[in-house]
Structure 1
Amino acid sequence: MTHDPRTALLRAALDAAERGWYVFPLRPGTKRPALHGEASCPGTAPCAAGHRKWEQRATTDPELIRATWSRAPYNVGIATGPSRLVVVDLDMPKDDKGSADAPCGATTFAALCERAGHPVPATYRTRTASGGEHLYFTAPTGVRLTNTAGTIGALVDTRAWGGYVVAAGSITPAGAYELLCGPVSASLPLWLLSIMRPAPKPVQAHSGPVAVQSRRYADVALDSETRNVARAQVGEREAKLFRAGRALGRFVAWGDLPRHGVEQALQEAGERAGLTAAECRSTIRSALNWSIAHNQRGRNAA
């Protein structure tokens, strides 16, 4: 009997939707959304009233899911915000610059739980393609949490509004995303919520329309920079990746783009151009760190 990856991925999407989690297609074999960006939006349904991003287009409608996954073996993305999820991403140390000796995210998280006086929560859990883990929690009501990167601990990130995770059953060249523990997602622990709760934002000088325009410009810049990197030729790939990281880092510093989203997009573009995963990670991290540090005073000071 022949294994049909499209059927298996459709089942993974439907399983997530049955839990009330909003799903959308990822490009086959990757972690990147399969939906068009704003720069290439045709302005037709479902974008007839304006461009709709992956977070807005994620769905639990089984008929729409069947229609989408009948076209290609898409991997499955779960939009954490609409799904009322907070997913803790416990990553593995990277193999570049000797960081492979560092504790993994799971070890760091277990130590944080012990320090808080609680065991590691029993909840829905998956293994990522890199060997890390995703812990799914139900988001608290009345609080709109966003993504974090390194706030909780080294190699411990979170995905909430503005973020997504790759669902169990999805497959990438690095490996598969697998279900480890399948009960319902537990409520987000209060001690973890206290760490994640965003600090009050300062009053912004920009009006609503200007802020929206800035975010749209950031999305266009992300599409353009990743496209340039992916098309880079031998001898210019690393330089183009570094310049793209510097250009996009300012939007991270200004709050227009999430860092993990920029890192993920540039990583895939760099690997598509022919760079190794380690080369991409090192270059992206260096470029973003420099750009964010030099743009923290705000866009008016840039």
Structure 2
Amino acid sequence: MVVAALGAAARGWPVFPIAVGDKAPPRGFTDWETRATRDPDRIRAWWRRAPYNVGIATGPAGLVVIDLDVPKPDQRPPREWDLPGIGDGADVFALLCQRAGIPIEWETLQVRTRRGGLHLYYTAPPGPRLPSTNGSLGWLIDTRAWGGYVVAPGSHVALPDGVGSYRVQHATMPAPLPPSLFKLLTPAPLPAKRPVHVPIANDRHSAYLRAALDRELAHLAAAQPGQRNRALFGAAAALGELIAGGALPEEPVKELLEQGGGDLGLARAEVARTINSGLRHGAHRPRRLATV
């Protein structure tokens, strides 16, 4: 796999190790977006340790990759995409572009993923950084730009939901991301912030609760690329324990978390899903503060 890693780096794409047989970096390998490199010596040093798979940090590589997935055997489309002719992410993407009057630029580097999905590689335009998204465009469509990565061709993944290799299907240079697609992928501007007041009873726990809020929001604000969604989930889960225990009100806390996720550049739909998931997780372990 070192050959694949060196080949991607030679194209100007910073790479980093992905765990053998997996799609995630090895345990303890954090800040992959800043540690990804094109340095051949560092790449060889990494791959001497293990036959890693290869990750491409799409933001630093100047890439936007549209990931068109295929459904799992028991997966059904949501109501808005349960339409004739819609069977996978490629069908959704084609319909999405048709509705928007956007021609699809298929003449670009294409990589077939291990479960039969498709990665379309485009070069990112200069100017504002596009964030990565998870499902916000449509069913089975993700995008990988800043804050995201793709598993490079040649990598082999063996996970419970599918086993297979990533392989180049159409070998050509990545085409520039068409302006029409850039517009489609540009996130809508966030509404202007307004101060959020979290009502906390003025008792002996008030200082503790304020500190808990400030601590989780500070951890979230400091999250590095590649760790931001996880940090948002962790903050929501920790505060969700206090919400479930009746110590904090849910709605203003959610609003603070939404603002924090938006400040990190996460897509609005992704932020909402992650917060709700974290709050549900925290609710399983309600934290009740002593009353005496």
1:62 partnered with 2:47? no
Once the two structures are TM-superposed, the CA of residue 30 in structure 1 deviates from its matched residue by 0.4
Look up the equivalent residue of 2:93 and give its one-letter code: F
CA 1:27 to 1:37, structure 2 compared with 1: closer, same or farther past 3 Å? closer
Deviation at 1:216, TM superposition (A): 4.2
Q: What one-letter code is carried by the residue in structure 1 that aligns with 2:50?
A: A
Partner of residue 85 from structure 1, selected from 49, 59, 63: 63
Q: Separation in 1 of the partners of 2:105 and 2:55?
A: 25
How far apart are the structure 2 equivalents of 1:217 and 1:57?
A: 15
Q: Tell me what 2:167 maps to.
A: 178
SS across alignment from 2:74: coil
- Give deviations 1:76-116, integer Å, cap 9, x for gaps: 00001100110000011122254598520111222334442
Distance 2:75 2:13 in 1: 38
Counterparts of 1:13-52 in structure 2, within 5 Å, are: 13-34=5-26, 36=28
1:213 maps to amino acid: H
- 1:214 matched residue in structure 2: 220
Paired residues in the alignment total 226
1:54, distance to aligned residue in structure 2 (A): 0.4
- Structure of larger gyration radius: 2
Task: Give the equivalent residue in structure 2 for 1:166.
Answer: 151
Residue number among 152, 157, 166 corresponding to 2:142 in the alignment? 157
Distance in 1 between residues matched to 2:64 and 2:194, nearest whole Å = 27
- Specify the SS of the correspondent of 1:82: helix
- Deviations along 1:233-259, one digit per CA (max 9) or x if unpaired, are xxxxxxxxxx89x88xx7984415968
Unaligned runs of 5+ residues in structure 1 are 1-8, 39-52, 227-242, 263-284, 295-302
**Cα distance in 2 for residues equivalent to 1:13 and 1:37:** 17
Letter of the 2:40 counterpart: P
Q: TM-score scaled to structure 2, two decimals?
A: 0.65
Structure-2 change in CA distance of 1:168 and 1:153 (3 Å): same
Identical aligned pairs, as a percentage?
43
In structure 2, list runs of 5 or more residues that go unmatched.
Answer: 197-214, 242-253, 281-292
Residue number in structure 2 paired with 1:141: 126
**How far does the alpha carbon of each residue in 1:166-222 deviate from its partner, in whole angstroms, 9 at most, with x for none?**
00000011110111112111111111111111222334769xx99663244795994
Deviations along 1:255-294, whole A, 9 cap, x unmatched? 15968xx9xxxxxxxxxxxxxxxxxxxxxx9x85844799
CA RMSD in angstroms comes to: 3.8
Q: Distance in 1 between matches of 2:69 and 2:49?
A: 32
Q: TM-score, normalised by structure 1?
A: 0.63
SS at 1:180's partner residue?
strand
| Amino acid paired to 2:189 | P
1:156: how far off? 1.4
Which residue identity is paired with 1:178?
R
1:217 to 1:136, Cα distance in 2 relative to 1, 3 A: closer
State yes or no: 1:122 paired with 2:111: no
Q: Which residue of 2 aligns with 1:108?
A: 92
Query: How has the CA–CA distance of structure 1 residues 55 and 132 changed in structure 2, closer, same or farther, with 3 Å as cutoff?
Result: same
Q: Residue in 1 aligned with 2:53?
A: 75
